[in-house]
Amino acid sequence: MSIEIKDLSYVYSPGTPYASTALKSVSITINEGDFLGIIGKTGSGKSTFIQHLNALIKLQSGSIKVYDIDLTQKKPDLKKLRGTVGMVMQYPEYQLFDETVEKDVSYGPKNLGLSEEEIKGRVREAITLVGLSYDEIKDRSPFELSGGQKRRVAIAGVIAMRPRVLILDEPTAGLDPRGKKEILTLIKKLKETSSPTVIIISHDMDAVAENCDKVAFFSGGEILAEGAPRDLFYDDDLLARTEMEAPAIVKLTKALENRGVTLDSHPINKQEFVQAVKRWRDE
């Protein structure tokens, strides 16, 4: 178990006419090695939820435990927490600020108080990990890179802190299909090499179905369901209640079913679908 959240509630601007409830008694346990997808329509509280996980938002009620860091304590060790939980916000390229890519990526590790030597090593590793050439890009200004490159540099800035849990808020927003695919491949690679636990928020059902081994459905500040994509994405009632759409593969399977082709399983990605169709054909 890496993260345990119990009864988390949150209200923005409490006690004013603008008060708005963003989270209502959310409980979930995230295990080490999980690839969790968080989905839900706009305004359902997803960003508010993940911002709690590295104490960007102060806990109002409920409890959060990240490994051995207890956020209900008065003064949790924030430095340690932020080294443990890496957060890539929406449009992370807008947070780049330094003169060179190298300096920008080393901002996080520097804040952790690491040694020069260590920082240099990590920066090189992180930039290479996100698929950029360290020697080519390290002295360039982050502002003169392309959008996709900027996003990679921003992700490298978080990776360089070597977080055990990596959280990404809509990492593929605003990218073309190819850029999307590349970022998703990158995230999978990062999960295998550096951060064993990954949480992503995404509006791309196909990407979630394809990559995540767990999904949580947010709606109106609550988690309506949590479990394997295979179970939840075939639940029409749940999809309707959360105003979500099924992934293309699920739609396809259902369309086949309506025409009398009943597959023997619930495929959730392309390979499974192809396998299932082959089995049906061979019968």
Q: Pattern of binders to ligand ATP over 35-74, x per CB under 6 A?
A: -----x-xxxxxxx--------------------------
Q: How far apart are CA 158 and CA 268, in angstroms?
A: 30
Closest to 158 measured CA to CA, from 170, 168, 148, 173: 168
Is residue 218 within 8 Å of residue 46, measured between CB atoms? yes
Contacted by 22, from another protein, ligand ATP, Mg ion, none: CB < 5 to 8 Å by type: ligand ATP
**Smallest distance, Mg ion to C-beta of residue 47, A:** 3
**Smallest distance, ligand ATP to C-beta of residue 229, A:** 19
**Smallest distance, Mg ion to C-beta of residue 18, A:** 18
Count of positions on this chain that bind Mg ion (CB under 5 A): 1
**Smallest distance, ligand ATP to C-beta of residue 62, A:** 15
Closest to 82 measured CA to CA, from 32, 157, 27: 157
Query: Does 258 interact with another protein (rule: CB under 8 A)?
Result: no
**Smallest distance, Mg ion to C-beta of residue 252, A:** 29
How far, in Å, are 1, 15, 104, 157 from residue 57 at the CA level?
22, 17, 24, 21
Q: How far apart are CA 194 and CA 148, in angstroms?
A: 21
Contacted by 135, from ligand ATP, Mg ion, another protein, none: CB < 5 to 8 Å by type: none
Q: How far apart are CA 126 and CA 128, in angstroms?
A: 5
Query: Does 47 interact with Mg ion (rule: CB under 5 A)?
Result: yes
Closest to 38 measured CA to CA, from 184, 234, 230, 169: 169
Structure tokens at 89: 């916000």
When the beta carbons of 16 and 258 are compared against another protein, the nearer one is: 16
**Smallest distance, ligand ATP to C-beta of residue 21, A:** 8
Query: Does 94 interact with another protein (rule: CB under 8 A)?
Result: yes
Query: Does 92 interact with another protein (rule: CB under 8 A)?
Result: yes
Q: Pattern of binders to another protein over 135-154, x per CB under 8 A?
A: --------x-----------
**Smallest distance, another protein to C-beta of residue 260, A:** 46
Count of positions on this chain that bind ligand ATP (CB under 6 A): 12
Which residue, chain included where needed, has tokens 């998703």? 184
Q: Are strands 69-70 and 85-88 parallel, antiparallel or unpaired?
A: unpaired
Which residue, chain included where needed, has tokens 């050439």? 133
When the beta carbons of 155 and 268 are compared against another protein, the nearer one is: 155
For the chain, the 3-state helix, strand and coil shares in percent, each to the nearest 5, are 45, 20, 35
DSSP-H helix ranges across 194-247: 205-211, 229-232, 236-241
**Binding footprint of another protein on the chain (CB under 8 A):** 12-13, 17-18, 20, 51, 54, 56, 79, 82-83, 86-87, 89, 92, 94-98, 107-108, 110-112, 143, 157-158, 161
- Chain positions contacting ligand ATP, by CB under 6 A: 12-13, 20, 22, 40, 42-48
